[in-house]
Amino acid sequence: MPKTSLFIFFDESGNYDFSDNGTKHLVMSAVCTSEPAVNLKILGDLKYELLASGINIPNFHASEDVQLVRNQVFSSLERLSISAAKSFWIRKDDSRLGKPGLVNVYKQFGLAFAKWAEVRSEIFEGRKTVLMFDRVLHGKDQRAFRASTKALFGTLEGSSFVFFHSVHMDFNGQIADYIAWAHYVNLERGEVRPTNALPKRLSELDNLFDWLEAAK
């Protein structure tokens, strides 16, 4: 895989229920790598080791994995080929959110990550950028988000592509899931063990709206 291509895998933790029954927080994390196949090998080896020990693990999903599996995944993160990671979070009752709902929230996160890409331009310089989102949006919403996100990331030097794949199908997306979940449980219920297990280089976290205001 040529290192002139940069892959960014996104996943979120929390839910998109904006009623009183929903989660209070929502976190989206991005993982950047120019060597996604290296990460497939590391986590693929872990998956098959777990299967050989009698643990049925079709894929890694932090909120559902047992603690033994989580410990193994967190221990593997330091060895992964990741050039940068960034997470943003919101409280769903933040008045700056405006119209609640899945599409608007995705647009807000997309804007924040595009602005972050401008700040961290040394990572993206001269590269094709491939953005991989989970298959949450569908139909016209997916098409509209793809177009707007390509335009935002189009300010970078290289071309960009936006795809929607199930996070269950790629270990790189599952890395983003683990990072987002670690931050989410800390924000939502004060559980610090997962965030303490994150390597420092993967722990960068900001409130989305505070960060956007500071970046103006």
The pLDDT of residue 78 = 95
Contact in structure between 173 and 55 (CB atoms under 8 Å): no
Q: Considering the chain, what is the average pLDDT of its residues?
A: 91
The pLDDT of residue 156 = 63
Q: How many domains does one find in the chain?
A: 1
**pLDDT above 90 as % of the chain:** 67
pTM value is: 0.94
Cα separation, 59 vs 160, whole angstroms: 28
**Structural domain for 147, as ranges:** 5-215
**Token pair in block for residue 105:** 């929230």
Bigger pLDDT: 104 vs 50: 50
The pLDDT of residue 1 = 44
The pLDDT of residue 138 = 85
The pLDDT of residue 2 = 47
CATH code of residue 43 = 3.30.420.10
Cross-strand partners of 162: 131
**pLDDT above 70 as % of the chain:** 96
Does 144 score more than 60 pLDDT?
A: yes
Give the residue from 97, 88, 99, 101 showing the smallest Cα distance to 22: 101
The pLDDT of residue 154 = 67
The pLDDT of residue 12 = 96
Give the residue from 84, 118, 69 showing the smallest Cα distance to 10: 84
Give the residue from 79, 155, 80 showing the smallest Cα distance to 113: 155
The pLDDT of residue 58 = 94
Q: pLDDT tens, 52-67?
A: 999 999 999 999 999 9
